[in-house]
Structure 1
Amino acid sequence: MRTALAVLLALGLSSAAAQPQTMTPVPGRPNAPDFTLPDIDGKTRRLSSNRGKVVLVNFWATWCPPCRREMPSMQRAWDQLKNENFVIYAVDVGEDEETIFGFTFSTGVEITFPILLDKEGKVVKQWPVRGLPTTFLIDAEGRIAYSAVGGREWDDPALIAQIRRLMRHAPAAERVSSSPPPP
């Protein structure tokens, strides 16, 4: 498992230099492989429970330098988009809660989006991950619309605009309000 992760890291590092701040369209928009994973607080999260929302699924690890660099910008993007039809799942590959808590504390940034645990690497194997970090943007119908290999500045205006365009194209019947219902 560690060797496979090292290969993923090497691929991620080789593609991390001079990354464009957009994601690449995925031809045919295949269905996203569903998963159910615990988050670092023990809550169970299921990808398919977010139909009607755009979901950013980021595969990462604390030992991956581009993954570490992009996490604060992912939090800033979450701060901008969390009240819209948008969810972030940061799926940590192969590590435990203690390691992740140590990393998140060291960033100096409070990470408030869900960090999921793929301790045995079973979920990452179901996805077309070519390196760490690899990120997928899932449309409101549960299909992989965009992907990105390598680190990004997730709060870059071009990426925020790309996410919002996908949210605007969600079928009206499937849009879900992220705000609490009126009293």
Structure 2
Amino acid sequence: MKKHLLLLVLLTLTISTHAERQQPELSHELTKVSKVIAASDFELQNMDEENIKFSDYRGKVVLLNFWATWCPPCVREIPSMERLQQKFAKDNFKVIALNQTEDPDKVFAFTGQLELDPTFEIIFDRESTVAQAYAVRGLPTTYLVDKKGNIRYRAVGGREFDHPEVLKIIRQLIAE
């Protein structure tokens, strides 16, 4: 019995390690939008059930990330989003993560299992109305919005947001 249990544990570890190795590397490339687009305003609730209005962040550069807990690349990019939030905490910068369609209790439980509790804003787009307004077609999708409220960069798929190239873009937008 103990041999079978040990074998099962080893097999499970091997399969999960193999699955992690098969995950593609996170990219760091952001696509500059060809035509500057005004970011749509919205008002949604955060994890504390407070209403968050996007236009209240005018004057800050915002990394606006559409995600879900069931999305592997979404989960993989969370640590880099947290490092980014920490790096620019004293600057005119904010990370906002819009969870798609999930129950706040489920997301709260999920964040409790993370290595670090996110300090960036998590808000709930329960009906995906904001995702529709931003033409989100897949998760994760991220927009980098300048201090005037204009979308300047876009990324579809998982990213390593604290990569030096991304940091350079964010610093440029903060300096504008």
- Name the TM-score class by shorter chain: 0.7 to 0.9
Task: Please name the residue that 1:111 is paired with.
Answer: 118
Task: Please name the residue that 1:139 is paired with.
Answer: 146
Letter in 1 for 2:29: T
Task: Please name the residue that 1:71 is paired with.
Answer: 78
Task: Please name the residue that 2:155 is paired with.
Answer: 148
**Partners of 2:27 and 2:175 in 1: CA distance:** 23
**Partners of 2:67 and 2:111 in 1: CA distance:** 13
State the shift of 1:103 in Å.
1.3
Residue 31, structure 1, aligned to residue 43, structure 2: no
- 8 A Cα contact 2:26 2:160, kept in partner: no
> Where in structure 2 are there 5+ consecutive unaligned residues?
1-22
Task: Please name the residue that 1:4 is paired with.
Answer: none
State the shift of 1:19 in Å.
5.0
Letter in 2 for 1:156: H
Q: Count matched residues.
A: 154
| Equivalent of residue 49 in structure 2, options 42, 53, 63 | 42
> Where in structure 1 are there 5+ consecutive unaligned residues?
1-15, 170-183
- Larger radius of gyration, structure 1 or 2? 2
State the shift of 1:165 in Å.
0.9
Structure-2-length-normalised TM-score: 0.83
**Partners of 1:19 and 1:104 in 2: CA distance:** 21
Task: Please name the residue that 2:20 is paired with.
Answer: none
Letter in 1 for 2:148: E
CA RMSD of aligned residues (A): 1.3
CA-to-partner distance for each residue in 1:137-168, whole Å, 9 max, x for gaps? Answer: 00111110000001111121211111111111
- 8 A Cα contact 2:63 2:144, kept in partner: yes
Instruction: State the secondary structure of the residue aligned to 1:27.
Output: strand
Runs of 4+ in 1 over 6 A off after TM superposition: none
- 8 A Cα contact 1:22 1:162, kept in partner: no
Instruction: State the secondary structure of the residue aligned to 2:34.
Output: coil
Task: Please name the residue that 2:92 is paired with.
Answer: 85
Instruction: State the secondary structure of the residue aligned to 1:30.
Output: strand
**Partners of 1:101 and 1:19 in 2: CA distance:** 25
Task: Please name the residue that 1:122 is paired with.
Answer: 129
- 8 A Cα contact 1:89 1:114, kept in partner: yes
Instruction: Among all aligned residue pairs of Structure 1 and Structure 2, give the percentage whose two residues are the same amino acid.
Output: 44
